[in-house]
Amino acid sequence: MEFDEWEPVYDAILQDFGYDRQGDEHARDVLASLTEPFDSSRLPSMREQTVAIAGAGPSLETETDLERARAADVVVAASTAVDTLTANDIAVDCMVTDLDKNPETVCELTANEIPVAVHAHGDNVPAVRTVVPDCAGEFVLPTTQAAPRAHVQNMGGFTDGDRAAFLADHLGAATLVFVGWDFDDPSVDASKARKLEWAERLLYWLECRRDGRFDILEGRRERLETDVLPIS
């Protein structure tokens, strides 16, 4: 994902949520100052692999989703999905997080040489400043939703979950299997529900880019196809 492809989508997200691009850029620069260039060889090999993209929705705790995660070649987990999987003896190969929850898990994974894609945006600078220095730095992959700069990367995506999918796609995953995804979760607040709407749009975009079909979009694709997506 090149930034010139991502930028029109990013602009639409900024406009929809009223976010400040300068805030994202400041957060990116703070993250850059606290990290070092990431050695991509520390990431699990995903090329031609089946990669489970684990969201933190309540369905992750069902036996069906746990077994699908267990059967995958690689598991990339968003936020607290790591804790659910670990509690069920399923190893996570990479975590994706903006540090809004479970910072102790972030630090523990890096200490155990599991890479964590840490995302900086305008609202989480305090967490970045607090959590990142306590991590094993060589296992922190710094990411941004703004323009990449220095060693901070942008592989696409907005929420932890869809960023995990874009990361796996970037690394050449053959098949993406989605577990713990609940677009219509009634327990989330209005802001989170809007973010899930964007995650759904972005996964549809990714699906089109991969010329494939994601099972979690079945029954939803018709609406997405008529949605006003900021992409051609």
Assigned architecture for domain 3-226: Alpha-Beta Complex (3.90)
Q: Distance between CA 124 and CA 152 in Å, rounded? A: 15
Delimit the domains of the chain by residue range.
Answer: 3-226
pTM for the structure as a whole: 0.95
Q: What is the DSSP letter of 150?
A: T
Predicted confidence (pLDDT) per residue in 197-231, tens digit? 999 999 999 999 999 899 999 999 888 876 766 55
Give the pLDDT confidence score for residue 231 in this predicted structure: 57
Contact 144, 121 (CB under 8 A): yes
Cα gap 224→202, rounded to integer Å? 10
User: Rounded distance, CA 215 to CA 205, Å?
Assistant: 14
User: Per-residue pLDDT averaged across 77-91, rounded?
Assistant: 98
Q: DSSP assignment, residue 63? A: H
The whole-number average pLDDT for the span 100-117 is 97
**Half-sphere exposure at residue 48, Cβ-oriented, CA atoms within 13 angstroms:** 0
Give me the pLDDT at residue 230, please: 59
Helices assigned H by DSSP within 115-159: 125-131
pLDDT tens column, 31-70: 999 999 999 999 999 999 999 999 999 999 999 999 999 9
